Amino acid sequence: AQKITQTQPGMFVQEKEAVTLDCTYDTSDPSYGLFWYKQPSSGEMIFLIYQGSYDQQNATEGRYSLNFQKARKSANLVISASQLGDSAMYFCAMGRRSNDYKLSFGAGTTVTVRA
């Protein structure tokens, strides 16, 4: 079984500052991927970033970066230079290669950016 844990139900961040969203996971499968999605109030799921378990470098996509610590089984998302439009729910998810990358999701973290 695989489990994704997001311990921060909600966070506030000041505009232009950075915020780190925590995610830990549990799997015995050696080949897996970690995903972060953003869900605004409209309900759509927006893909942000992906990290493969064999990737040596931490993934980055614009203002998003993933702090991947494999030994600690953590995959924290860092959003730099927060903008008001970053206010949303953020989900961490994991998929295993042996399971066709079907995603298991964490409970999510609500981020509110203050002006």
Partner 1 sequence: SAVISQKPSRDICQRGTSLTIQCQVDSQVTMMFWYRQQPGQSLTLIATANQGSEATYESGFVIDKFPISRPNLTFSTLTVSNMSPEDSSIYLCSVSTVTTGYEQYFGPGTRLTVT
Binding site for partner 1 (CB under 8 A): 33, 35, 37, 42-47, 50, 52, 91, 93, 95, 97, 100-108
Which residue number, 88 or 93, has a Cβ lying nearer to partner 1? 93
Which residue number, 72 or 100, has a Cβ lying nearer to partner 1? 100
| Rounded Cα distance, 112 and 105, in Å | 20
User: Minimal distance in Å, beta carbon 16 to partner 1?
Assistant: 28
Between the alpha carbon of residue 78 and those of residues 70, 72, 99, 100, 111, the distances in Å are 16, 17, 27, 27, 12
SS3 call for 86: helix
Which residue number, 12 or 54, has a Cβ lying nearer to partner 1? 54
